[in-house]
Amino acid sequence: MTNPEPVLRAGVNFTNRAELKYARAVHLANELRGRIDEWSAAETLLARIHQVDEHTVEFRMVIRREPPIDEWSLILGDTLHNLRSVFDNLIWALATLDGAEPKRPQQVTFPLTRNEGEWTARTATLESVPSVYLQRVRQLQPWATDTERDESMLWLLHQFDIVDKHRGLISGALHFKQLSTAGLDLNYQPAQTAAEARPSYAMQKNPIRLQPETVLTTIHCATHTLNPDPGYMAKVAVQFFLAWNEERNVSLDAFLGDLVSRTREWLDRIYGGELYAKSLILARESTEPTLTMGYEDESGELRILKLPMTEIGQDRPMHEGREVSDSLLPGV
């Protein structure tokens, strides 16, 4: 029950150039997340309470320090470029594997195609890439996975890398996420019937522009007057999105996290095939010392097996081995 497909191991029987690009991208992605978290934790965005009338109050934006969008966009662009470069480095290494010499080296780039016909034409310049690895690359094409091109993470990576050459990728419009009003006392009057108050809340529609005095939330109570502390300030939590298009909002944090993990999976899939990639997914997710392996059963279905581990000097397994159905594993 072993994986019969050939496996490339970076630094062992294959160059680690693509891995270095990937590691650099991970470092930059973590740096970007850290800078955004640091900015958010410093209470740089607040909302002061403003009395509109005796029944209505508003929370209006106070900007203590604007987010350095341009600086963050530079880090994001470098992250995406390194992730995209992973695949060009990989395809070059495959085209020159075991001393092979491509006939048109200047045209050896990672193929990302729209359909089968374009794939055939595009890969004519990749004649030196061993067929088993070229087939694995083919399986990642959006059309080969029945994925709409604009929904393909690989295609989006390619497009965002191009867009970054011309403009910043992080939108200056923020998405209002939460208003933290801990300790707020609206001081309803009459106080003896405050429990009966049914205030209504209205939030600003996203996205919002980063401008002082922007109204984020309105509180209205028709049955009671509101008398909050005029000096009260609430903390504002926002999300940052990619400047893609007006019809589609792409969360920066979610997209970047997904892209980094998917790139890892794509690399492993090209290195060793589907079984190899899925067994590594399971190994990374395991919290116990685990040996995993993949195989095909008699019906051709992919299976992943977690083998029992035994402590040195002990006769019993550290935990029991079990078989994990392929359907339980995330797609690659």
- CA torsion 121→126→131→133, rounded to 10°? -110
Q: In this structure, are residues 265 and 285 in contact, taking their beta carbons and an 8 Å threshold?
A: no
**For 251-285, what is each residue's pLDDT tens digit?**
999 999 999 999 999 999 999 998 889 888 877 77
Who has greater pLDDT, 21 or 4?
21
Q: How far is the first Cα of the chain from the last one, in angstroms, to the nearest whole number? A: 21
The predicted model scores a pTM of 0.83
The DSSP element (H or E) to which 244 belongs, if any, is strand 241-245
The confidence band for 191, taking pLDDT boundaries of 50, 70 and 90, is confident
**For 152-184, what is each residue's pLDDT tens digit?**
999 999 999 999 999 999 998 889 988 999 889
Give the helix ranges, DSSP H, for the chain: 17-41, 69-95, 116-122, 131-138, 153-163, 252-285
The confidence band for 151, taking pLDDT boundaries of 50, 70 and 90, is confident
Which residues are CB-neighbours of 56 under 8 A, at least 6 positions away? 218, 219, 220, 221, 226
pLDDT of residue 234: 94
Give the residue among 59, 61, 46 at the shortest CA–CA distance from 186.
59
pLDDT of residue 280: 86
What is the percent of the chain with per-residue pLDDT over 90, rounded to a whole number? 67
pLDDT of residue 288: 63
Which residues are CB-neighbours of 289 under 8 A, at least 6 positions away? 309, 318
What is the percent of the chain with per-residue pLDDT over 70, rounded to a whole number? 84
**Pairing relation of β-strands 215-220 and 56-63?**
antiparallel
Give the residue among 54, 235, 251, 263 at the shortest CA–CA distance from 157.
263
Q: Of the ranges 5-9, 107-111, 304-308, which one carries the lowest mean pLDDT score?
A: 304-308
pLDDT of residue 315: 54
Q: Of the ranges 48-52, 240-244, 265-269, which one carries the lowest mean pLDDT score?
A: 240-244
